[in-house]
């Protein structure tokens, strides 16, 4: 598999985990805060276990700003998945436009 594809797949998986760590607990509002923090840290450990190799592999073919741009685009896309599929929240048209503008910014960064 090419380093570009490997990088994107690892970053996508890491972003799913990070969005779950950051927002997944919102589904469990009655869970004790201390438990939520430790569970989020546990999820983040596995996120880092994917993101560090992704950046190491990716830096052989992408610049650091391009890697960050790719990561941000994937973060936005995986956030949609977590927000809609896990939390059951909708995204408004105005929010979609805002996120689309963020993706335009990402495109400008990675199309270097």
pLDDT of residue 102: 87
Regions of the chain with pLDDT less than 70:
none
pLDDT of residue 55: 98
Domain boundaries, the chain: 3-110
pLDDT of residue 112: 72
pLDDT of residue 59: 98
- Rounded to whole angstroms, the Cα distance separating 104 from 47 reads 25
Residue-wise over 54-69: b if at least 16 C-beta within 10 A, else e? bbebbeeebeeebbeb
Global pTM? 0.88
């Amino acid at each position: 598999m090419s380093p570009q594809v490997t990088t994107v797949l690892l970053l996508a998986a890491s972003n799913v985990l990070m969005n779950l760590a950051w927002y997944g607990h919102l589904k469990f509002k009655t869970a004790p805060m201390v438990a939520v923090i430790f569970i989020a840290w546990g999820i983040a450990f596995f996120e880092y276990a994917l993101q560090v190799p992704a950046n190491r592999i990716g830096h052989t073919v992408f610049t650091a700003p391009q890697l960050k741009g790719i990561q941000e685009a994937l973060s936005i896309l995986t956030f949609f998945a977590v927000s809609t599929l896990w939390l059951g929240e909708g995204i408004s048209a105005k929010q979609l436009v805002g996120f689309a503008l963020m993706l335009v910014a990402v495109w400008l960064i990675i199309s270097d």
